[in-house]
Chains A and B, each alone.
Chain A
Amino acid sequence: MKIPEQPLGPKILRYSITTLIVFASIWSASGLEITPERFLTAPTKIWQLVSQLFPLDLSSEAINRIVPKVGESLFIAWAGTVIGAIFSFPISFLAANNVSINFVSRITKQVLNVIRAFPELILAFVFLPITGLGPLTGTLAVGIHSIGTLGKLSSEVIEGINPGPLESIKSSGGSKINELLFGVVPQIMPTVTSYWLYRFEINLRASAVLGVVGAGGVGAELINQLRFRDFPRAGTVLVVTILMVLTVDTISAAIRRRIIKGREIKI
């Protein structure tokens, strides 16, 4: 049996992508002066650090210092998410091209793109001289970045709704506001709330690192302990942070699943 030959086009594409990837990594590695030996020696060096982190510093002084800092990260993340949710909700209606005017929707989308382009840390150190060292700066940075991301996600949810209910509200004499309130909101609410929770999980990680520039949270604690080479205490910071993130992730994922699936109603 004769096997038909493969077409040439995809083959060329595949080879050119492979060469592109190989050349890009060689160019990057040589530019950064990274040699294979460094990768080979890295695991032993990392193992040395990890073995110094244990046993953890579980003295009550360390715990009393670290746990409130981790809590602060949690509060920054939640308050930032609430700010993001409250402001992004109306904005997402303006940005969705099926309920908004075309012109307005385009401008709003561009504004959201620009907001999203700034990382939280850059926002944080721009706010720092105005709002001071502390969790407020972190909250504003997290909140403003969340407006950008949540606005984009929610507007995409609005764009994907079923137009049927809107039409029936219109035909039974409802106003534009009625359409949005009783046609759009009930349809998007489950997905949008689950996006809020998902954003909260991401913000938790973001707020943990904000301390590096002094914007509150556990990041400052970790970088200071590592600079002073107090590795057991740095290990405690890491473990407490990981435990908190894992707990929040688990709870939030369970709630999201329940929101999307809905409740079983017995009739």
Chain B
Amino acid sequence: MNRPRKPLPSLLSILGYPFTVFFTIYSFLQIGFNLEDFKTNLQNRKIVTDPLFNPKWSWAFENAAQALIETIQIAILASILGCFIALPLSFYASKATNQSTFSYSIYKSFLNFIRTIPDLFWAMLFTVAVGLGPFAGVLALVMFSVAIMGKLLSETIDSIDLGPLEAAKASGAKHNQAVFTSALPQILPNFTAYFLYIFELCIRASVILGLVGAGGVGRIIETQRIFLRFDRITPIIVLILIAVIAIEQFSVWLRRKIL
């Protein structure tokens, strides 16, 4: 039987596989994994593990509850502001609703630029600009939500049905009116789903904002961490986990209810 010949490996795999292997080995060498050091260090684990598994519950309830509420407030405010700022931006950053290629590329690269800066870097910059405290955290998470919502929503707008838009224009609507009446309703369900998703991400991100002084429960974690009081950190982490899981469940329930 004459079998068809197997195609030759592509250029990507010829170059890609050796490069990947080489880069992996080089990375592991660079991060300096040393088994001997690791073994000696492992004997220090009691500093962490003993207090970690002997949590002091009463201390956490007295001191961390207020900060945990602050964390949740930061996440609520930032995700609401961020998503509503991103809503008009993503219409400009989509080819389907922005007719000018020039302004489209400007909005698109603006959103890409925001996305390259990690959330904690924003927090550091804002603590310097507007001072320590939760306001810096809110601003940082606003940038974070604008970046994610902008990307997700503008890609959704790219794939909308253009028929209703054309119909609105045929009946005499201006471009903005057409977008408002026939593109916006198409993406509102997605917007709600993304909003809830971003809210979850913000809750997770807001926990660590305090490490750089941007408010929330991270502030307490940071001070206790410096003194190696892991017995006080464990209950805080458990409280955070409970809050995060509860909020996630609520948002899953709400998503199912709305959509």
Interface residues of chain A, those whose CB is within 8 Å of chain B, are 13, 17, 21, 24-25, 27-29, 31-34, 38, 42, 45-46, 48-49, 71-72, 74-76, 78-79, 82, 117-119, 121-122, 125-126, 129-132, 134-136, 138-139, 205-206, 208-209, 212-213, 216, 219, 222-223, 226, 238, 241-242, 245-246, 249, 255, 258, 263, 265, 267
Contact = CB atoms under 8 A, between A and B. Distances in A.
A53 to B, nearest CB: 9
B239 to A, nearest CB: 12
B244 interface: yes
B194 interface: no
Given A21-B80, A219-B120, A242-B117, A42 B130 contact: yes
Interface string B104-143: 0000000011001111110011111110001100110000
B103 to A, nearest CB: 21
Contacts of B7: 263, 265
A126 B52 contact: yes
B37 to A, nearest CB: 7
A209 B118 contact: yes
Given A31-B69, A139-B31, A119 B76 contact: no
Contact of B120 (A42, A71, A129, A212): A212
Given A121-B208, A125-B225, A129-B48, A34 B30 contact: no
A209 B120 contact: yes
Interface string B188-210: 00000000000000001101100
Contacts of A76: 27, 31
Interface in B211-237: 211-212, 215, 221, 225, 228, 230, 237
A208 B73 contact: no
A38 B205 CA distance: 22
Contact of B32 (A134, A208, A242): A134
Given A82-B28, A117-B244, A205-B118, 11 more contacts: A24-B80, A33-B134, A34-B134, A117-B245, A121-B208, A136-B32, A209-B119, A213-B211, A226-B128, A242-B113, A242-B117
Interface of B: 4, 7, 10, 12, 16, 23-24, 26-28, 30-33, 37-38, 41-42, 44-45, 47-48, 52, 69-70, 72-74, 76-77, 80-81, 112-113, 116-121, 124-130, 134-135, 138-139, 204-205, 207-208, 211-212, 215, 221, 225, 228, 230, 237, 241, 244-245, 258
Q: Which 5 residue pairs of A and B lie closest in terms of their CB atoms, listed nearest first? A: A28-B73, A209-B120, A28-B77, A75-B27, A135-B31
16 contacts: A25-B77, A27-B76, A28-B72, A75-B27, A75-B31, A76-B31, A78-B23, A79-B31, A117-B244, A129-B228, A130-B42, A134-B31, A136-B33, A216-B31, A241-B121, A245-B116
Nearest to A78: B27
Contacts of B117: 238, 241-242
Given A75-B30, A212-B212, A45 B130 contact: yes
A45 B125 CA distance: 11
Nearest to B76: A28
A119 B81 CA distance: 24
A82 to B, nearest CB: 5
Given A31-B69, A32-B77, A46-B130, A212 B48 contact: no
B31 A136 contact: yes
Given A42-B139, A129-B47, A238-B117, A78 B24 contact: yes
Contacts of B26: 75
Contacts of B80: 21, 24-25
A242 B116 contact: yes
A223 B212 CA distance: 8
Of B126, B204, B208, chain A has the most CB atoms within 10 Å of the CB of B208
B212 to A, nearest CB: 6
Contacts of A74: 27
Contacts of B16: 255
Given A76-B31, A129-B228, A136-B33, A121 B211 contact: yes
A226 B120 CA distance: 13
Contacts of A258: 12
B42 A48 contact: no
Contacts of A131: 38, 41
Nearest to A114: B241
A206 B38 CA distance: 23
Contacts of A205: 116, 118-119
A131 B134 CA distance: 32
A74 B212 CA distance: 22
B52 A79 contact: no
Contacts of B126: 46
A119 B204 contact: yes
A46 B130 CA distance: 7
